[in-house]
Structure 1
């Protein structure tokens, strides 16, 4: 008896009398009684309809009792029958019963334990959609609280993560992963892979890389393929530092970078113009006995060609061939384009002949590179011959082909051919872009036809294209040369008005200033210069020397203007320009200080 009193006394010491509720014990017995009644009613269904069996019980039925029914299942009801009751409870028109997070989670664990994963998945999606964004900590806590001794972890918690993922709640899905890991629960690897795939499509790459490192730390097997994919995406978005981090992590996780790994990062450096790092990677490849392939050399040759380092590109090409590698059509096209752009058309054609001799078929990019070379040289006949050759081979001219030819014709003053090509371009269903229109405007202005050039500009605007400052400046210059500074001034105002808040370029202002100065309209020129300064446009030496020449011509004081030019013949700042004007106004030629 003393022992009994001692035990009771200790219990009382730990738990004060006020917490000992006999009503609570009665409530638990009542719950158990209700659970048993529910179980019997469900078991007897459909012999006796549930609505009539539970008529008196339904109004007071709570989610807590439903959760206890699922957890205890005293009548050993089949999982399907118990789940049917769970659904029946909240079906429209039955009663005002609403499941809580706890009852949902209890049923989800029950379904997963009994292999009803499809039904569990549906319930998880309902639960997550109702709770919404940023609910992962609360829902996860409820899942932990209701798991009991059921063997449902691997399905229930991975299912929760996937439910958030499917509904687009990426941050919640990642939180679920971290909470699962914190609580030392297992997640299947295919679940992690699905997360990675979804992150790659819809989330930031840095978040994807961060998550990948987390799952690697949790035992996920590293994949060289995935490292390479991540690097490629980082390089494509010009995030070369993260691409380098991914590359460095390959060895950290016990893998060896492949030639694809090296080439991917190398191409990223080449695209950013960092040839030093690109060639450093090539050296590292060779030291680690990873042999450079055709793609390696093609990427480096491309970088050298972009920098117009054609001698180095040629040496690298020779090294490639000496190593027994066969250049691809991409390699040849890159070199052809590089030579054509620097005016070495003969070398470009030599590469073209080598390409043909190796049985490679030139594509449209190859032909466009050569056509551009001949147009720059002014050999329009050779350019048109190449168009005929490519047409015989089944290649149709594209926008680049037509624009290159139009620009070539305009440069040579053959406007009739340029406009014929424009018509062919339209009939071929190829829309004219800003480059094409600007080439035509340039050709018309060179021929002293600014009015026709302005018509082309209007056509450009009517088709929804926005001419750049250069197009406006060329037409303004054409009008100024004809002495029509008013139309040039109107175009500048139009450019100011339609620029969407963008201030016209200095070139456009200099063109109009030059027009005013040549016409002796120095008051207009001074007002325009003041307007430029008020807009924050910084004049250059062209601006000031144009203004000085205008004032000196008007004042007949060319000697004064020459005194204030530096060795290169320019006035460098506004102070020098103002001082010189003051000096000229006094009729002197003394150098101001």
Structure 2
């Protein structure tokens, strides 16, 4: 921010010395404003530049398009793109990728794919960034088959998938219950030489746990650890929740001990999972001992679990 203000001070000095800024200078200033989210100021600067008889070039237009798309003003970005074409300026791959990103972020895949088709008019081909953005957008909107088709197209065109592409696919597949396919892509990711991170492994573990396959979840946990990827508290919470849902209180306690031995600090979610487990499958009074040993502070979720247990009709009462 200080650098941007200094740049504007320099612009003022240039004007005082009768050395008006050129297109390049205006472009640099607009880029700074766009990065700072000051889109209205950037647009005013654009108007000022045009008012002085300077003709914006492709870099200036792309700078403004990028700024608007990154800050959720995709319609404004498309309007600038239209102006750019009318001026006879040639958009480059970065311009198109920016528009695709903005449209996918808004969930407008139809227009995103239309923009990709327009690239061909300038002899441009989608690259890894274009395809990865489309895959991510398709997955987030639930178009999993479309995402897989794009992946196959990438492979067919000899474009190597990277960790970002694989992670987007795995996330989408897990989110829509395609855990087996997600695990298959995890294997492909490893075979391609990419190392899944904590979040990627945890997504797949969570998917299997939600299917009731806790054994596979623990298999992936061990794989994580063997590969040098350190599981965090979220990973353990996912597994602990799955164990508790199956009534495996003893194994859940063992997992808690394993966490502590590894120096991973349980959080409120961990203890609330255990409390809920004891309320449903054991004796909630045992939780007080656990709470004292581990230093848990009661929170609203704990209170709710206990109230639910206390107010639940007993089997004897129900059968009377």
Q: TM-score w.r.t. structure 1 length?
A: 0.46
Question: Offset at 1:480?
Answer: 1.1
**Shift in alpha-carbon separation, 1:519–1:307, aligned structure 2, 3 A:** farther
- Give the Cα–Cα distance (whole angstroms) in 1 for the partners of residues 36 and 263 of structure 2: 34
Aligned to 1:278: 4
Match of 2:295 among 575, 581, 591: 575
Match of 1:521 among 248, 255, 276: 248
Aligned to 1:542: 269
Match of 1:365 among 72, 94, 100: 94
- Using the TM superposition, name which of 523-532 and 458-467 deviates more: 523-532
Question: Offset at 1:491?
Answer: 0.8
Q: How does 1:191-590 map to 2 (within 5 A)?
A: 275-287=1-13, 289=17, 291-499=20-228, 502-555=229-282, 575-577=295-297
- Give the Cα–Cα distance (whole angstroms) in 2 for the partners of residues 328 and 432 of structure 1: 33
Question: Offset at 1:451?
Answer: 1.4
Whether the 8 Å CA contact 2:244–2:252 is kept in 1: the answer is yes
Whether the 8 Å CA contact 1:308–1:338 is kept in 2: the answer is yes
Aligned to 1:171: none
Q: Which runs of 5+ in 2 are unaligned?
A: 311-320
- Using the TM superposition, name which of 277-286 and 348-357 deviates more: 277-286
- Give the Cα–Cα distance (whole angstroms) in 1 for the partners of residues 275 and 148 of structure 2: 41
**Shift in alpha-carbon separation, 1:511–1:295, aligned structure 2, 3 A:** farther
Whether the 8 Å CA contact 1:410–1:439 is kept in 2: the answer is yes
**Shift in alpha-carbon separation, 1:575–1:282, aligned structure 2, 3 A:** same
**Shift in alpha-carbon separation, 1:521–1:378, aligned structure 2, 3 A:** same
Q: TM-score w.r.t. structure 2 length?
A: 0.81
**Shift in alpha-carbon separation, 1:305–1:508, aligned structure 2, 3 A:** farther
Whether the 8 Å CA contact 2:128–2:159 is kept in 1: the answer is yes
- Give the Cα–Cα distance (whole angstroms) in 2 for the partners of residues 281 and 394 of structure 1: 37
Q: How does 1:138-177 map to 2 (within 5 A)?
A: none
**Shift in alpha-carbon separation, 1:331–1:504, aligned structure 2, 3 A:** farther
- Give the Cα–Cα distance (whole angstroms) in 2 for the partners of residues 550 and 368 of structure 1: 48
- Give the Cα–Cα distance (whole angstroms) in 1 for the partners of residues 236 and 36 of structure 2: 32
SS in 1 for 2:72: coil
Q: Which has the larger radius of gyration?
A: 1
For 1:151-178, what per-residue CA distance to the aligned partner results, in whole angstroms no more than 9, with x for missing partners?
xxxxxxxxxxxxxxxxxxxxxxxxxxxx
For 1:448-470, what per-residue CA distance to the aligned partner results, in whole angstroms no more than 9, with x for missing partners?
12111111111111111111222
SS in 2 for 1:374: helix
Question: Offset at 1:578?
Answer: 8.4
Aligned to 2:314: none
- Give the Cα–Cα distance (whole angstroms) in 2 for the partners of residues 551 and 313 of structure 1: 58
Query: Relative contact order, CA 8 A, sep 6+: which one is greater?
Result: 2
Question: Offset at 1:402?
Answer: 0.9
Question: Offset at 1:530?
Answer: 2.9
Whether the 8 Å CA contact 1:282–1:292 is kept in 2: the answer is no
> For the aligned residues, what is the CA RMSD?
3.1
For 1:435-493, what per-residue CA distance to the aligned partner results, in whole angstroms no more than 9, with x for missing partners?
11111111211221211111111111111111122211111111111111111111111
Aligned residues: 297
